[in-house]
Amino acid sequence: EDSQAILDMIKELAEYEEMLDQVENTAEQLKKDGFGDKPRFTAFIAESDGVICVYALYYYVYSTWKGTCLYMEDIYVKPAFRSKGVGMGLIKRCVEQATQDDCARVMWQALDWNEPALAFYNKIGAITTREWLPIRFTKPLMAQFLEKYQHVRSQ
């Protein structure tokens, strides 16, 4: 089952990003969300000697300006397999999928301090944007928002 292997790599990535304590997902949830009746994401993986060494997890988003876009939530290569082309191969696979699906763009994020990743993405021709900032509600913030604005009628 790939869900557990993907979750293990999600945790490795989160540990590198110093955010392991924020991972709440489970292998069961990944299985349901990615491989259930209504998949919410797709994951590409690559193996070496039967061991999953890299994954890219993506889904589609919609830009009102551009149309359908492919959003790479994660791309992660286990350290022992870096600089061997497997990450590049998975990015290429995502770009091929986006092209096949007539997407306007492929998007992803990197932490501003992750210089090796940023340098790699720049090297392959991807661009960074600084004018658009990610904004989010976490589950607790969603609950607070709904409580605070319960008097507002939903449209």
Question: Annotated catalytic sites, by residue?
Answer: 121
For residue 67, the Cα-to-chain-centroid distance in whole angstroms is: 19
Distance CA 130, CA 2 (A): 35
Give φ, ψ of 133 to 5 degrees.
-105, 135
Q: HSE on the CB side for 115, CA within 13 Å?
A: 0
Determine which helix (DSSP H) or strand (DSSP E) holds 46, and give its type and residue range: strand 42-48
Distance CA 59, CA 94 (A): 10
Burial class (CB in 10 A: 0-12, 13-18, 19+), 19: exposed
Distance CA 61, CA 77 (A): 24
